[in-house]
Copies of this chain bind each other. A is one copy, B any other.
Amino acid sequence: MLDYALLSALAAVIRTGGFDRAAQQLGLTPSAVSQRIKLLEERLGTVLVVRGQPCRATESGLRLCQHVETVALLEEDLQDALPAAGLANPQVPLRIAVNADSLATWLVPALAAVPERLFDLVLDDQEHSADWLRRGEVLGAVTGYGRAVQGCDSTPLGALRYIATASPEFMARWFSGGVTEEATAQAPCLTFNRKDRLQQLWLEQAFGRDLAPPTHWLPSTQAFVDAALAGLGWGLNPEPLVAGHLKSGRLVPLRANLPLDVPLYWQQSRSVGTALANLRKAVRAATKETLQPIAVE
């Protein structure tokens, strides 16, 4: 078996990014932490931590860190059987992958409903967040992928509704003759990053094909809304974030009655089901109000 005292030191260094902070969390001196990492690296015959500001894990180091955190969460399942053993690991965060728009709309209240936990959020597009789960780098994910990833349970949450919006000034400048195919191919749009296909999907829905308009790249949900308000471009914004602006007229829909609904699922690893049980409940409760119902396959 591996030496879990050494592994705990490794996880703390990678989690906190430094030997000093890890030492403080573990109640050790920095040199004791450093010795444990060195010993572990010698025994395993490979470098686990790239020393720097901050310290980073090598690929092997990351894999080990994920392993020891999973084991720590598994230990919590023994808590009922061994109440005096002090098996809670409050320093170990639950690492989950989520899309930025979920974080910006409904996720924070769900996290706040599980106050006994620390969370480590990884942001990725809903078409890619399940990959983190497949690679074993997170224990749960908010994803657009409905079929259960191997070793995971999938729960349908509902669809996040997006509206293609722009400012009235932008509409007057670019779409004075209507939102035609020609005008839409010219007007600048907003794209989150290279993985974001929402604008493309909406264009295909509206015009039967992608028009590949010129685009700004803005990797932030709130900046997307701000940029639409400021007239930089049009983009697909989550309805919960723009409902007020649509009502007040600061933003207008490019087309009435043409929303884009993106189904979302919660997937979580079966190996640490107990540690994630309360989070799943909170996620379902939070999405019931914010997301649109979807037909379950």
Contacts and interface: CB of A to CB of B under 8 A. Distances in A.
A221 B17 CA distance: 20
Interface string A86-110: 0000110100000010011001110
B195 A21 contact: no
A227 B108 contact: yes
B21 A218 contact: no
A214 interface: yes
Interface string A111-127: 11001001111110000
Contact of A188 (B22, B118, B212): B118
Given A21-B212, A232-B108, A232-B111, A220 B123 contact: yes
A100 B220 contact: yes
Given A123-B220, A215-B118, A231-B112, A20 B54 contact: no
A20 B209 CA distance: 11
A91 B215 CA distance: 8
Q: How large is the interface on A (under 10, 10 to 19, 20 to 34, 35 or more residues)?
A: 35 or more
Interface in A209-243: 210-212, 214-223, 226-227, 230-232
A25 interface: yes
Contact of A103 (B16, B212, B220): B220
A36 interface: no
B227 A112 contact: yes
A188 B200 CA distance: 40
A194 B123 contact: no
Given A54-B195, A109-B230, A111-B230, A104 B212 contact: no
A24 interface: yes
A38 interface: no
Given A118-B214, A121-B218, A217-B121, A227 B104 contact: no
A90 B214 contact: yes
15 contacts: A16-B212, A20-B210, A24-B212, A25-B214, A90-B214, A93-B215, A93-B216, A103-B218, A103-B223, A109-B230, A111-B232, A112-B227, A119-B216, A119-B232, A121-B217
